[in-house]
Amino acid sequence: MKITDVELFEVKPRWIFIKVNTDEGVSGWGELISGTKTRTVVEGAKELAERIIGRNPFEIERLWQELHRSFFRGGPINGTIVSGIEMALWDIKGKAFGVPVYELLGGAARDRIRVYSWIGGDRPSDVAEQAKSRLDRGFRAVKMNATEELHYVDTYDKVKAVVDRIASIREVCGDDIEVGIDFHGRVHKPMAKVLAKALEPYHPMFLEEVVLPENWEVFDKIANEVAVPLATGERLYTRWEYKTLFQQGAIDIIQPDVAMCGGILETRKICAMAEAYDMAAAPHAPYGPIALAATLQVDACTPNVFIQEQSFGIHYNQGFDILDFIENKDIFQFEDGYVQIPDKPGLGLVMDEGKIRQISAEGLVWRNPAWKNYDGTIAEW
C-alpha cells in the first residue's frame, strides 16, 4: 500500500480536516488545529504532505520521526501538522486490519470512558444553570473557565467574581458534580496563588493552567499552597517538552492534545511516562470530531486517563457542532457521563465527505478573542 495524495479541508467553525488517500482505496482522516494561523497551518501541511507521497502508510513511527526531526522542530504549527497526518495514518492502518486503533496499541484497558462537559465560565458566565443542565443529562463532571482578563496584580473584586461563580454551582448542584476550573494561562503568578487559595474551599476537581506553561517554575509554589490537583499540558509538544513537568513533580494531571502534541502514539507515550511518575491524564480535546475520536482511541488503552474532555455545545462552536460532519453519530453517545470505547475500525468515524467539501469551499477565518486589561495592556485569552 502506498500513499497517493493528501487533501485538506478548512471547516467551520474552527477545524482543519486532513484526508490521506492510498492506492488500495483505503483513506484515513486526521484533524489539525487552526488556532489563529489557519493559512500557515494549511500551507505547512501541504509542504509536509509532499514528503509522504509514495510512502508506506503503515510505517507510522518512521514517517513521524522524519516529519518531526527537522532542524527547527516542535511548536504549535509543526506539532499540529504532524499530529493530523499521524492520526490519519493510524486511521488507515486500523481500517486495513479491520480493528480500532487501540487494538494496535495494546488493546483496551477499560470498559468505558468518563467524560466531562464544558460550561463556559467567562463569556458566557451563567455557570450554575449550565451545570444543573449537565447534571440533569447525566454528567457528573464539568469544566469552566475561571476568569475573564486579569492583570498581573488585580482587584479582589475580580477574585470574588470567580469565587461567586463556583459558589453558585455548589449552591445549585451541591457536591453531586465535580468542577474543573481552567485558569487558561490568563492568570499571572501574583494573582494565581490568591485565586487558587480562594477556590480551594469549593473542592475543585482540578485547577488547570494556573499559569502559562513557560512559567512552569510557579507550579511548584502553588502546589505547596493548596490541596487541589494541578493540571496542564495542552500547549506542550512531544514527550520532550513534558520532561520538566515530570522532573518537577508539581503537576498531578497531564493534558496532552492528540491534535497538537504529535498524534496518537505520541500521546500514548506521554501518558505512559506520566504513569511512571504516578500522574493522571485528562487529554485536551475541545475541537472537532476527528480529534475527539482519535483521543478516545488513546483513552481506551491508557490506564491513567481518568476523564476525557469533549466539546459538544461549547460556546466556540458557532454554526456547526461535533456531529454535523459525521454519519455514524452514535459513536459519541454519552450515557450517565460516560462514552463507550469505540468498536469500529480505525478511528471509528464515517465522515460526511460531501458536506465537508461543501462547507470547506466557503473558507475559514477564526481568531481567538483579543482582550485588553483596564489600562489598555494586552491580556491573555
Q: In angstroms, rounded to a whole number, what is the distance separating the alpha carbons of residues 353 and 372? A: 40
Selecting among 151, 188, 203, 284, the annotated active-site residue is 284
Contact by Cβ (8 Å): 8, 17: yes
Burial string for 38-74 (b: 16+ CB within 10 Å, else e) reads beebbebbeebbeebeeeebeebeebbeebbeeeeeb
- Classify residue 368 as exposed, middle or buried by CB count within 10 Å of its CB (0-12, 13-18, 19+): exposed
Question: Which among 68, 151, 184, 203 is annotated as catalytic?
Answer: 184
Count Cα neighbours of 313 within 13 Å in the Cβ-side half-sphere: 13
Q: Is 188 a catalytic residue?
A: no
203 catalytic residue (yes or no):
no
Count of residues for the chain?
Answer: 381
User: What SS3 class is residue 76?
Assistant: helix
Q: What angle do CA 228, 229, 230 make, to 5 degrees?
A: 115
Residue type (1 letter), 55: R
| The three cell numbers locating residue 139 | 454528567
* Residues identified as active-site: 184, 284
